[in-house]
Amino acid sequence: MLRQDYWLLFSVLLSIFYVLLIRVAYTSSETIGTDYLLTGSITSMFWAGFGGLFLFILILNVWSGVNEESNVTNNSHYLTIRTVPDLVLAHVISSSVKFLAVVTPITVAAGIGFSVGSESYQNVIGFVVLTPVLVVSAVAAGYPLGLIIKGIVRRSQTLLRYKSLIGLLLTGLYFGTAVTGYWDAIIETGEPALTAPPLTWFGDLALVTVAGEGATPITAPLLTGFFGLLTAIAIGCAIPAARFAWSGDLVITADDSESDDDSLPPDHQFETALARICTSQGTFAIASTTLIRLVRSPKQIVFVALPLLGVIPAAEQFLTTGSLPWYAPWAVVWYGAWTAGTAISLNPLGNQGATLPAVLSSPISGRQIVHGYIVAVLTAAPITVLFAIGTGIVADRPQSELAVLAVASVVAIAIGAVVSIGIGTLFPRFQESEIGQSTVAVPPSKTAYLFYSLFSMAIVIAVATINSEMVLEITTSLITRLLPLAITVSNDIVEITSWAMIVAIVLSVPIWYRIAVDRLHTYELE
């Protein structure tokens, strides 16, 4: 039910955005039409707009070819009843219809706006004629490119394994570029291509009824024929591309079945070092299995990606000034501890999946399970220390604070490991959640998420407040503003409170450890 509410909210927000987009298309085209009526010329951004729309639809269809939406294999039984050309043509037609339903209101609104601005209502005809030509050619050109990429990914076990992570990084790059304003620089760089043939030919078709601008009644059919020929060639190329993509699983499966080599063999340096750290075979088994699962299927990383949006302001400052804000290194410490605990140990029961009954009935004790997860989480400490010190140097923090950052990183991750296991055993989650059209993972429960997030923030803020005068001043100011009845607090009170929080957190670690051990040792399946 909650998932349906999310989709309903998403649909409402998307509808509002779509209506606003139609409004922008109308007003922008009306302004261009008015300028044409007054000056007799049309800005180059008119042609660039249609070229950009073509590239946008093309990119979306490249993604469609790569994504599981185009996952047609013999296992799906499609290829046993229809030929590859039939399936390719069906996809191009269905995708074209979907995009036409979305794009047509926008282009028609733009055409009406241009007609109103130019006071010639026949000018909307060109926009109506252009829409199917632009959409179908973009769909046909993008789909085979996506299929080729899909085939390459399926033939590479490394790319296939990290496909979700690569998609996440690309998504973050897109939003980061949008928020930091670098789209303007990208558009400015690409404007010569958007305002040159063949992309400008779409704008020429839209202006077929405008005298002295765009295509003439003679050249318009030629341009339409050119894009029709492009569509036919693209569909023809999509057929071998589809065969290449849809047979990719068979190649990987055959390689896997004939290979006895494991990605982490028993004598691997990683497992050798891990075996030296672990005091028992049960601890080693839990730690190695947890880390191998995270490396081979890094789907859990998706659930800790949202705070990375906070990197955008810091990245913008770094790109513009070459420095980082004062809080950046402490944010790294918090994110390292929070990510390690959330992605690895915040759901120790749910992470076992179908192997949970075997784990609970095995000779491995609850203490060994807890120790195994702690060892797995501590592997994130070196990375967090390096990033914290690196950001501290860029943020021009004193050497004493850099030393505190290194120690705080290790301590926060170690304490967070124990606490996250304890919280996770109290609030386990076994229900899978979709993170893609055919990809599922088991995230921690919302309650565990909330409690552990608050805990990790509390310990990092307390340590930062004690070791940084700037953090102390800011914390004192915020607390004073939040307190009712105009109550004020001094820096000394905040510092004492921070010390009390640290002592309380440290004293709570054995309690959380005991809770985790008892829960894992006595847990019974319902």
pLDDT of residue 439: 58
Helix ranges (DSSP H) in 379-490: 381-394, 399-426, 446-467, 469-482
Mean pLDDT, the chain, integer: 78
Q: Give the tens place of pLDDT for each residue, 8-27.
A: 766 777 788 888 888 888 88
> Can you tell me the mean pLDDT for 332-353?
84
Q: In 95-246, where do the E strands start and end?
A: none
Residue 5 pLDDT grade (very low, low, confident, very high; cuts 50, 70, 90) = low
- Are 492 and 456 spatial neighbours (Cβ–Cβ below 8 Å)? no
Query: Measuring CA to CA, how many Å separate 430 from each of 6, 97, 272, 292, 402?
Result: 20, 39, 32, 20, 40
Taking Cα atoms as reference points, which of 144, 131, 139 lies closest to residue 101? 131
Distance CA 509, CA 514 (A): 9
Beta bridge partners of 524: none
Distance CA 32, CA 192 (A): 20
- Among the residue ranges 313-327, 334-348, 359-373, the one predicted with the least confidence is 313-327
| The pLDDT of residue 186 is above 80 | no
pLDDT of residue 30: 87
Reduced to 3 states (helix: H, G, I; strand: E, B; else coil), residue 82 is: coil
Taking Cα atoms as reference points, which of 8, 206, 236 lies closest to residue 122? 206
Q: Give the tens place of pLDDT for each residue, 110-138.
A: 889 888 888 888 888 888 888 898 899 99
pLDDT of residue 475: 84
pLDDT of residue 511: 92
* One-letter amino acid of 248: G
pLDDT of residue 255: 40
| The pLDDT of residue 179 is above 60 | no
pLDDT of residue 146: 87
Distance CA 492, CA 195 (A): 63
| The pLDDT of residue 484 is above 50 | yes
| The pLDDT of residue 40 is above 80 | no
Distance CA 285, CA 279 (A): 11
Distance CA 49, CA 45 (A): 6
Distance CA 304, CA 321 (A): 28
Query: Measuring CA to CA, how many Å separate 14 from each of 10, 98, 108, 225?
Result: 6, 16, 20, 35
First to last CA, the chain: 23
Neighbour tally for 470: CB within 10 Å: 12
Domain spans in the chain, listed from the N-terminal domain onward: 15-254, 268-522
